Structure 1
Amino acid sequence: MNEINYEEQLKALKEGTLPELVVDPQNFMAFREVWKNLPDRMSIVGEAGLNGRIIYRYIKQEE
């Protein structure tokens, strides 16, 4: 099984080159380990999808 590089995926999500990031239930803990260390993690919003998938989008916070 190939490891997904969530650091790169989240960077692309924040830069806008990736419109959304879909995380399957079996990969959630690996995603969470990277996500929880981000300073702007509250801008990465998840939406529940089918079969336990979570669709993450970057929502820029207004200051």
Structure 2
Amino acid sequence: MNKEEASVLLDQLKSGELAEIVIEKENFDLFRSVLLSREDFKHFRGIARHHGKTVYQYQEEARS
């Protein structure tokens, strides 16, 4: 995964095209850096799963 692919996934999640995305541990650092650079990053929710996987979902209301 590269930064452009991560950005496309986040855009698809925000638009509702995808309900959630699963990020493997080897892609986590790059993906998170792209996520944190976005102005709307507080709308994304990451849920840690087994074996280093993280599931991301988009929420209409930003977390505080």
Normalised to the residue count of structure 1, the TM-score between the two structures is: 0.87
Q: Do structure 1's residue 56 and structure 2's residue 28 form an aligned pair?
A: no
Report the aligned-residue RMSD.
1.3
Query: Where in structure 2 are there 5+ consecutive unaligned residues?
Result: none
Note the C-alpha offset of 1:13.
0.2
Which structure has the bigger radius of gyration? 1
Instruction: Indicate the structure with greater helix content.
Output: 2
Match of 2:24 in 1: 24
Partner Cα distance (2:48, 2:33) in 1: 19
Normalised to the residue count of structure 2, the TM-score between the two structures is: 0.86
Tell me which moved more, 33-42 or 7-16: 33-42
Please identify runs of 4+ aligned residues in structure 1 that moved more than 4 A. Answer: none
Partner Cα distance (1:54, 1:27) in 2: 10
Query: Once the two structures are aligned, what percentage of the paired residues are identical?
Result: 30
Partner Cα distance (1:15, 1:45) in 2: 15
Note the C-alpha offset of 1:32.
1.2
